[in-house]
Structure 1
Amino acid sequence: MAKILIVDDEEMVRRTLHRCLEDMGHETFLAGSLAEGAALASRDVDVIFLDLGLPDGEGQKAIDTFRATSSKPEIIVITGLGDNYGAEEALRRGAWDYIRKPASPLVIRSALTGALEYRAKHKVEQCRSVRLHDSGMIARSPVMQRILRTLSKAAESDANVLILGETGVGKELAARAIHANSVRKDRPFVVVDCSNLSETLLESTLYGHTRGSFTGAVSDRGGLIAEADKATLFLDEVGELPVSLQKNFLRVLQEKRFRPVGAHREYLSDFRLLAATNRNLEAMSNEGLFRKDLLFRLRTLEVHLPPLREREGDLETLAEHFISATCTRYKIPEKRLSRQLLAVFQSYHWPGNIREMRNVIESTIIEAGKDSDIYPKHLPAAVRLSLLANGAKDRGCDGTVPPQKLTEPEPLMMPAYEEYRAMCNRKYFKELLIVSGNDLVKASDISGLSIPSIYRHLGISRLPTPRRNRS
């Protein structure tokens, strides 16, 4: 018997799942919100059925939190939101399955059986602690614990890894962590910044060149691919790699052979490739700006680093780390982070992510002078102005919350039960027709109702036929 947690704000869905899973002999716990679910998840549940649209937050963002609990349950997303809303993000966060409502008992039971079988076979692996040494990464939040597990698995292999994320999230640091924990850790970590080099210079930098191969080539010079032999090659901002070089580099990546500019022979290099970018390579490939075959090669493994604003639980730790490091570098007594400044940091959007935080804290410490505590008044003017312009989640630029005007609560308006039931029926059958594309046979299969019953619920004798344009 397994312990199953159902987190869904629809009581009917909770009861239906409860009956279905209870018939299978499992113990179930029911929650109508994320807060209730978080409290019940501490009961060492095995599987969580999780809705995405909940009254107190988005379910997909809670996947990492639930997965980080002591029992590390499998997450099965079950949602009524259309067009596979949030499916990519949910699966990327490690959800076991993604199910659209309404779902048949067969689909529910099949997903649960698969999750429990996997859990039984991989329980030891699930409980294994993250072992990523010398990473330099501060990662206590659930989302970053998931990232560390992914980086740890990447370090154990020799596969190509594509690291994605906004500017300043620490993509190079993640790449260095993979290298430092891999079998190549005693060899060089060779960095190529694709955004700072022209096409000609980039080709020469990667492959090397012979004397006289172009103007200014006064001697033979080895390239970084040769330097990365039996080591790790890191292509930073790989989205900036010129299209004309992408085909050639794809061959180098496949064959591990390269030819220096102007040379008449090829050379071998056993390099391991890590790449990073803040650009959407999928969209670029659809526009012909990045080769699809190269993209497939780059992302044997794919890591998405979250922005700082989504790393709840890491912000204070990161701030204190940068304060300590800055004070040590400037050889001054360590300063304290005030409660007001922490509130501002938690409200700020951090468009430049960790890199911006490091620079903001350095500027703040310099501005604070001999003050032992740092406050919002020590922040750079640009940050304070941004807080004022954006409202900083209804906080002032000093971190305080303005008093709220008290108003009398509006009376709760509820329709009569029969009216509410009729309204729900109309909504269900309207969505049923949309999902089935007005195909009554398909609608009947989904709903389990006969076609005459569907007509009766719709209150019509037949479906309208599409209008044709008159010539």
Structure 2
Amino acid sequence: MPDVLIIDGDTRFAEDLSARLAARGMPADHCQTMSKAMARLHTGSYKAVLLGNNLPDGKHLAFLPEIRDIPSRPEVLVISDDINPDAAESAILKGAWNYLTKPLSLQRVLALLQRVMDYHAQCTATGAPISLRRCGIVGNSRALLACLDDVARAAAAESNILLIGETGTGKELFARAIHLNSRRATRPFVVVDCAALPDTLVESILFGHEKGAFTNAENRTVGLVRQADGGTLFLDEVGELAPSIQKVFLRVLEGRSFRPVGGAQEITSNFRLVAATNRDLETMSKAGAFRQDLFFRLRGMHITLPPLRTIPEDMSDLTSHFVAQHAKRHKLPIKGISPDFLEALMLYDWPGNIRELMNTVEQALTMAGTEPILIPRHLPRTLRAQVARRSLEKGQTAPDGCSPLAADPASFPSHGTYRDQQIAEMETRYLTSLMDVSQGNIKAACALSGLSRARLYALMKTYGVPRHRKAR
């Protein structure tokens, strides 16, 4: 079976390119629609896809993430009729191997395809973990699984890794997963909290010092960089490194050698570097707030972790995991989770991400006491107040325990305001259901509801309910 699939709505172009590739020892299948292409990709084992932009069933770049999620993990070379810098940038950011414009240079296409084949062969030879040790990472959303694929590739390599994500997204957990799935798993995993390094002792902490190197240096110490020899050095919140240390650390990365404070000789340390940040280091480097050369050195491979609000499908698994974890730690029976409790969690923004969810679940368990089921009332009051607000803004019914009547006194509504909100919500739900059941037929809707035509139209206008509902 060919390793290459050409997808292009121009039949003549696809057939001609397929024939020319085959004549040079690179056989390729071809099809003209994305629907046919996806069927072939799911049943085949293609290593490369040439994705044209003349598709009758959608814009080609919109399909890039879906193609990259195919189990065989094909690399995608995007082909366009136009020279469009914005489209080229978008394609690469979405995971494309390269961006080509017509007319194609056959030699360039062949060279790129050969690189893709070599890359697949190398990945197979290096043996990225087939069964990845998750090391406590919970969830099965598409975004999270894509990150785990990157963890597997990172674990099989030795290049520097940069983990990017908001506070609380689990960057240290992912760093440990990379380490424990790598060849260095039995060696040390050393954490450096860059935000907590004191300016006066930072070099001593990182590189160690000799006895008598400074006041109170009564004994020789081994720094964290030396402790990571043979293992992994994890720089957490690397964007917080002081400029003076950035310069020193750049030299350490280049030669994997350093001199302890007060030492006469340089010492080597064969560590693998994984760094993490919640800041935009690229923007910082352009503004002069972070060394650009260090940024390029750190970013050998980068993995962007999704914030919790973008992966609501993982909320149930994460919540169950933390309930079980806290129950075990405090030697308590595992409690059940009510649907309303989970609904409330999914309506919250989670600015502190997974770390905030973990702490919230622990608070809820404490509030629940001996009650066997977690309900919204067990959640912190500030969280319930925000959920109540968001529910009303979206025209939804707030989960039980998260209505405005359960919010803070400062936001407690007047009787009239609360009544009007509830009536409006009830009327909107009723009219929406009425239009669904009657399929937008006003005569049928009047017969079902007992409302006059004039009254029905007036209510629909008041609450902004359209006559024709879209089919689901």
For 2:144 and 2:132, how far apart are their aligned partners in 1?
12
For 1:201 and 1:162, how far apart are their aligned partners in 2?
25
**What SS class does the counterpart of residue 334 from structure 1 fall into?**
coil
C-alpha RMSD of the superposition: 4.1
Distance 1:266 1:91, change over 3 A: same
**Deviation for aligned residue 1:249:** 1.4
For 1:93 and 1:376, how far apart are their aligned partners in 2?
38
For 1:161 and 1:206, how far apart are their aligned partners in 2?
19
For 1:232 and 1:121, how far apart are their aligned partners in 2?
25
| Equivalent position to 1:30, from 30, 33, 53 | 33
For 2:364 and 2:466, how far apart are their aligned partners in 1?
39
TM-score, normalising length: structure 2: 0.69
For 2:128 and 2:210, how far apart are their aligned partners in 1?
51
For 2:373 and 2:191, how far apart are their aligned partners in 1?
38
**Deviation for aligned residue 1:189:** 1.0
Matched, 1:408 2:467: yes
For 1:313 and 1:112, how far apart are their aligned partners in 2?
41
**Deviation for aligned residue 1:355:** 0.9
**Deviation for aligned residue 1:339:** 2.4
**What SS class does the counterpart of residue 359 from structure 2 fall into?**
helix
Query: Where does structure 2 lack aligned partners over 5 or more consecutive residues?
Result: 19-28, 403-424, 433-462
Distance 1:57 1:29, change over 3 A: closer
Letter in 1 for 2:343: A
For 2:95, the equivalent position in structure 1 comes to 94
For 2:251, the equivalent position in structure 1 comes to 251
Distance 1:134 1:27, change over 3 A: closer
For 2:372, the equivalent position in structure 1 comes to 372
Q: How many residue pairs were aligned? A: 393
For 2:80 and 2:303, how far apart are their aligned partners in 1?
25
For 1:68, the equivalent position in structure 2 comes to 69
For 1:21, the equivalent position in structure 2 comes to 14
For 1:315 and 1:38, how far apart are their aligned partners in 2?
29
**Would the aligned equivalents of 2:129 and 2:152 in 1 still touch at CA under 8 Å?**
no
Moved more, 221-230 or 304-313: 304-313
**What SS class does the counterpart of residue 350 from structure 1 fall into?**
coil
For 2:139 and 2:86, how far apart are their aligned partners in 1?
28
Moved more, 289-298 or 205-214: 205-214
For 2:290, the equivalent position in structure 1 comes to 290
Deviations 1:20-43 (A, max 9, x none): 4356565536369xxx99889756
Letter in 2 for 1:170: G
For 1:331 and 1:366, how far apart are their aligned partners in 2?
12
Q: Percent identity?
A: 38
For 1:96 and 1:117, how far apart are their aligned partners in 2?
10
**Deviation for aligned residue 1:223:** 1.4
Letter in 1 for 2:185: K
Distance 1:117 1:191, change over 3 A: closer
**Deviation for aligned residue 1:359:** 1.3
For 1:86 and 1:114, how far apart are their aligned partners in 2?
19
TM-score, normalising length: structure 1: 0.69
Q: How does 1:288-437 map to 2 (within 5 A)?
A: 288-311=288-311, 313-391=313-391, 395-398=396-399, 403=429, 404=432, 405=463, 406-409=465-468
For 1:310 and 1:341, how far apart are their aligned partners in 2?
19
Distance 1:365 1:56, change over 3 A: farther
For 1:112 and 1:134, how far apart are their aligned partners in 2?
38
Deviations 1:42-100 (A, max 9, x none): 5659548488xx9999966x64444334454544557899975476565355323446x
Distance 1:268 1:143, change over 3 A: same
Distance 1:22 1:128, change over 3 A: farther
Higher helix share: 2
For 2:299 and 2:265, how far apart are their aligned partners in 1?
29
